[in-house]
Amino acid sequence: MSSKTKIESISDAETPITVGVLALQGAFREHIAHLYRLPGVKSVEVRNKEQLADLDGLVIPGGTFLIAICYAAADSNNARCI
């Protein structure tokens, strides 16, 4: 068993998580606004690859394109799509 304390929800975390929203297409402003309302979450607009280094997660607005990424990630076992 891990020595880390189990976090039941994001709001239980000692430090906020940082979630980026890819701000190149789609409804990224709406995603940012929704994340802003969540306790324990700091949201940022991502416009270049250098910004990815400091993120705990990334939202990619879109539809069909996102599905394609999820299938590719599942095949490579490098990422998880929810």
Query: How high is the pLDDT of residue 63?
Result: 64
In tens, the pLDDT along 58-74 reads 998 876 666 666 666 66
Asked if the structure places residue 28 within a domain, the reply is yes
- Is 82 a member of any domain? no
pLDDT at 75 over 50: yes
Q: Is residue 59 part of a domain?
A: yes
Residue 6 lies in a domain: no
Q: Are 22 and 60 in contact (CB under 8 A)?
A: yes
Structural domain including 69 reads 15-76
CA 16: distance to chain centroid? 13
Residue 64 lies in a domain: yes
Domains: count for the chain: 1
For 23-60, what is each residue's pLDDT tens digit? 887 788 999 999 999 999 999 999 988 999 999 999 98
In a domain, 5, yes or no: no
Assigned domain for 27 exists: yes
Q: Give every strand in the sheet of 41-46, ordered side by side.
A: 41-46, 17-22, 57-59
Q: Give pLDDT, residue 18.
A: 94
